[in-house]
Structure 1
Amino acid sequence: MLGQYLHGWRRLPSIGVAFYKPTARTYSTARNKVACYVSTINDAYTNLAIEEWLLRDTEPNQYILYLWRNTPCVVVGRNQNPFKECNLRFMQQHGIPLVRRRSGGGAVYHDMGNSIYTIYMPREEFSRKANAELVSRALQQLDIPAYVNERHDITVDGHKVSGSAYKIISARAYHHGTMLIDTDTQMLKGCLSKKYMNNDGIVSKGVESVPSPVTNLREYSYTIDHQQFCESVLSEFVDAYNDGLPIEPVVFNETNVHQLPEKVENTRKELQTWDWIWGQTPEFTHNVDHQFSWGAVRASIRSRHGMILEADLSTGSGDADQVTIISAIGVALEGCRYSQNAVMDAIEKIKIEIPGLINSGNQSIVNDVKEWLHSRL
């Protein structure tokens, strides 16, 4: 049923301009209470914007399945601290963008071997367990011995293949999750494994991810792919909510996505802004210290919404000039964005506000501190 829309990923039907006049709610009313949407777009910002639009603009009593996947990226929950949850240096080195979604939950790695499902329903009918079991049954259809654990993760042989999160508004709710089919697990570990991170000393008020051993469905099936997974989930979805009667999926592709309401593009743009990706970071403190040849330096930095609110830098050095310059760097860090470039921005501030403080006599100390903090922030 879904194969005609997914097969080959190039021969996809247009869904027609009429569908987009004016909102998804209009279209939903004209259809059954059950619908399926498939995105062949692989941009995380676009897919998350569509996901939010379907939540807000479809009928409250409608059951919807939305199927999609993205090119490589790391997606953190709305209330997470990416400085604590992600290996940002590794991501930068490999060109993997950071994305912040609108729902809660933990950090996940996306690539084209990782399928994503979103199940919408009326708020009063929402059940994480029921949705996870629906997807688990879909895997069992494909002879994969999946089951749901106590955290509502979908697992196989004790290894997680799908983590999930949810969002609830006044009359609607959705449950969305990833499905590791043939993802690059080395990249996943590089981005998210705690043992590869250099973030000791961060104490955050944000939601922390719960690490779990993971595996790909490919370990249990040579034939499983995105299309098979989508078809199987759709089959279970219509059995559960449409008495087994088939439904015709609506496809979003690069051609017709531009016909979506303006609010979708507005949301997409907002999800890419610094204010959303970094500015939503909850308050945290970062305490670090280092022993240099000329003395020890300790830094205690407090940040909220991606900005440094307080930075206390001190040194055990007995040299008055060293104490002064270290303290000045701490003061200048306040008001900077929390980033690798923060100390360079602070040094530029000092040069403007206190001319002559940074000179040839203390330049080596400034360079030491700059390189150290650049490696820790």
Structure 2
Amino acid sequence: MRPTRLSPCMFYRRIVCQSPRSRSQRAISSLSHFAEVANRSSSKHQIYRSLSQDPFVNLSIEQYLLQKTPEDSNVLFLYVNRPCVVIGRNQNPWLETNLGSLAKHGSPEQATTSSTTPIDNVLYVRRHSGGGAVFHDGGNLNYSVICPRDVFTRDRHAEMVARALQRIGAVNAKVNERHDIVLTQQPKEKAARQTATAGSQDPPPDEAVIPQALKISGSAFKLTRSRALHHGTCLLDSPNVHNLGAFLRSPARPYILAKGVGSVRSPVGNVSSALSGPFSIEAVISSIIDEFSRLYQTGDKVLAQTKDSPQQDEQLRVGDDWVAGTVGEALVREIPDIQTITSMLQSLDFKFLQTPEFTFSTFPTEADPRDRPPLPSSLPHSTKISIRAKKGSIVETSISTSSDAEIAKQQESQSQQLLNGKNLHEMDRQAWNDVLQTVVSIDDGLLEPTEQVVELVTDFVCHKFGVSV
């Protein structure tokens, strides 16, 4: 028999009767009533911490809070994800990530196990909001603020987090013109500190000796008719700060012309490197909660209850106009809307078929006249590859290896016929090999054996598109 569903009023009366305290004081709620109290019109102030490290779960809870919480409420949601690369809604995974590295470090066999080393089990995730690609791990805190749209500005919550970092000793934390939080540095200390503590997302080589701020937090936004979501990362003490390029540097980048939003590459660093004393992630979390409470005047009761909330069990504490506590994966099982969002985020359709139109070309074109890196010398010197994809599906292809114009034209036609309509993410190595076998074999004047050329071209294509071997 299904349990009786409680209305918000019925639920509130029940938990108050179970507590000896007065109605105006705090009460403890089972997590099964999350939907009732989160959606309750009187829940003006809401603060949650997630116990889950699953990025799909945390982004789903976040999206649910954006959709369901009262229009005039203010919500803070804090979570830490296991290693993953998260791209914006309008980004291109073949451009923004190294899918080959992700496939190697995030195999299906690993997907349900916890990470035992910092760089194992790296997932690929597409989120609902815009913005650029970021790397998450256990040393990166994610903060999310949902508020009425009419009070939202792009710097409002970044400034909130910067103040929180300053309070724990990162006095050089500030918000720059791109709405990022950075650690400013003095010229005399910059070279030594950046060498010792900073990683990089492809900084220009000639800037290695120029004093510059280290990015510790990037932001993304999602606006609805009445609500605004601002979520950001905060590199606190990541052990992978030197390894970000391994997952965020696509081997296909020099060949791709893409619509959509591109990421801006910046030198990055850890907050812990800016502190003279010991570092504690709990101190950062506590400071952010303090600043959120000041900004939105949540009152002492919700602030105290948030800091007193249990850190091991999913549990809520509820007052007249507030909700605070810890949440996690149980919400996916208990709330169908969150389960639906999680399933969508995990689907290959959402991960890949949301990709804006792009063109991969090994040679300059009128639309993209950039010089290209030279192709491997092992390939026939006349090799040309051009692929245009829309929504992750191939719509136009031109692949040829022959130096004979007529044969090359036949190869291009054959490649178009074989690849048109194929979903790019579904093309594994065998599929590419089969297509290229047919295309290359049209040229019977090859100096090298056909099989060898097919293998070499397959290697090249699979490497650029992140196809695991």
Matches within 5 A, 1:59-74: 59-74=70-85
1:332 aligned to which of 407, 418, 421:
418
Alignment partners' CA distance in 2, 1:39 and 1:264: 14
**Where do residues 331-370 of structure 1 align in structure 2 (5 Å cutoff)?**
331-339=417-425, 341=427, 344-345=430-431, 348=434, 362-370=450-458
Asked if the contact 1:107/1:209 (under 8 Å) is kept, the reply is: yes
Change in CA separation of 1:294 and 1:203 when aligned onto 2, cut-off 3 Å:
closer
Tell me the residue number matched to 2:242.
Answer: 186
Structure 1 residue corresponding to 2:52, chosen from 36, 41, 55: 41
Tell whether the 8 Å contact from 2:353 to 2:391 is kept in structure 1 after alignment.
yes
Matched, 1:252 2:327: yes
- Report matched runs for 1:161-200 at 5 Å: 161-183=216-238, 184-193=240-249, 197-200=251-254
Deviates more, 1:13-22 or 1:131-140: 13-22
Match of 1:272 in 2: 346
Aligned amino acid, residue 155 of structure 1: V
1:233 CA displacement: 0.4
User: Which of the numbers 157, 166, 182 marks the counterpart of 1:131?
Assistant: 157
CA distance in 2, matches of 1:102, 1:169: 12
- Structure with higher Rg: it is 2
1:374: how far off? Answer: 1.8
In the TM superposition, 1:222-233 aligns within 5 A as: 222-233=277-288
Q: Distance in 1 between matches of 2:401 and 2:413?
A: 8
Q: Is the 8 A contact 2:379 2:453 kept in 1?
A: no
Residues 21 and 154 (structure 1), Cα distance of their counterparts in 2 relative to 1, 3 Å cut: closer
CA contact (8 A) 2:90 2:354 kept: yes
* CA distance 1:362–1:246, shift in 2 (3 Å): same
What is the alpha-carbon distance in structure 2 between the residues aligned to residue 39 and residue 175 of structure 1?
Answer: 17
Give the gaps of 5 or more residues in structure 1.
Answer: 1-12
Moved more, 39-48 or 239-248: 239-248
1:304 aligns with 2:390: yes
Percent identity for Structure 1 against Structure 2: 33
Q: After the TM superposition, which of the residue ranges 323-332 and 306-315 deviates more from structure 2?
A: 323-332
Tell me which amino acid in the other structure corresponds to 1:16: S
Equivalence for 1:84: 95
Distance 1:142 1:336, change over 3 A: same
Between the aligned partners of 1:273 and 1:118, the Cα distance in structure 2 is: 23
How far the C-alpha of 1:321 sits from its partner, in A, is: 6.8
Q: Does structure 1 conserve the Cα–Cα contact (< 8 Å) formed by 2:332 and 2:342?
A: no
Distance verdict in 2 for CA 1:218–1:226, change over 3 Å: same
2:139 alignment counterpart = 113
Deviation at 1:205, TM superposition (A): 0.2
Letter in 2 for 1:331: Q
What is the identity, as a one-letter code, of the residue corresponding to 2:182?
T
Residue 250 of structure 1: how far off its partner (Å): 1.7
- Please, which runs of 5 or more residues in structure 2 have no aligned partner? 1-26, 107-121, 185-212, 306-323, 364-374
Indicate conservation of the 8 Å contact 1:15/1:251, yes or no.
no
Deviation at 1:350, TM superposition (A): 8.6
Shift of residue 320, structure 1, vs aligned partner: 7.2
Counterpart CA distance in 2 for 1:227 and 1:293 is 54
Q: 1:281 to 1:202 in 2, by over 3 A?
A: same
1:374 aligns with 2:448: no
2:79 is the counterpart of 1:52: no
TM-score (norm 1): 0.86
Query: Secondary structure in 1 aligned to 2:290?
Result: helix
2-structure distance, mates of 1:323, 1:288: 17
C-alpha change, 1:21 and 1:89, in structure 2 (3 Å) is closer
Does 2:102 correspond to 1:98? no
How does the TM-score come out when normalised to structure 2?
0.70
**Alpha-carbon offset, residue 326 of structure 1:** 6.2
